[in-house]
Amino acid sequence: MSIAQSSIIVHRTASIDMQERELYVSVDGGPNAILRYGDSITIAVEPGHHHLRVHNTWSRRRAEFDVAAGEQVRFSTANVRGKGFEIIAIFFGIAPMYTVLEREIDM
């Protein structure tokens, strides 16, 4: 008797994404996968409780969630502009951006 494969899918396709800097994705402290704009990754996991971490080396987001046998849990992530991005970028050549991470709910 086999248990249906469970997985976590993380994609970086949101229109609000700045399309700059890589995002690093890891599950349960495992190795990092790199997401560039337009990328998606599927990570096989055992059913149970998991920790997802996404960061761009400056900004970090985390999520804790449970996965049932055979379930696919989906997340969307992006790098987005911080407050005053345009003004700060003009003066300093760099500006704040932060990472967003949202679980997608199946309807």
Place of tokens 């696919």: 72
pLDDT in tens, 68-78: 999 999 999 99
Long-range contacts of 87-93, Cβ-Cβ distance < 8 Å, separation of 24 or more: none
Place of tokens 């994609």: 11
CB burial class (10 A; 0-12, 13-18, 19+) of residue 71? middle
Dihedral over alpha carbons 11, 14, 20, 21 (to 10 degrees): -30
pLDDT in tens, 10-66: 999 999 998 888 999 999 999 999 999 999 999 999 999 999 999 998 889 999 999
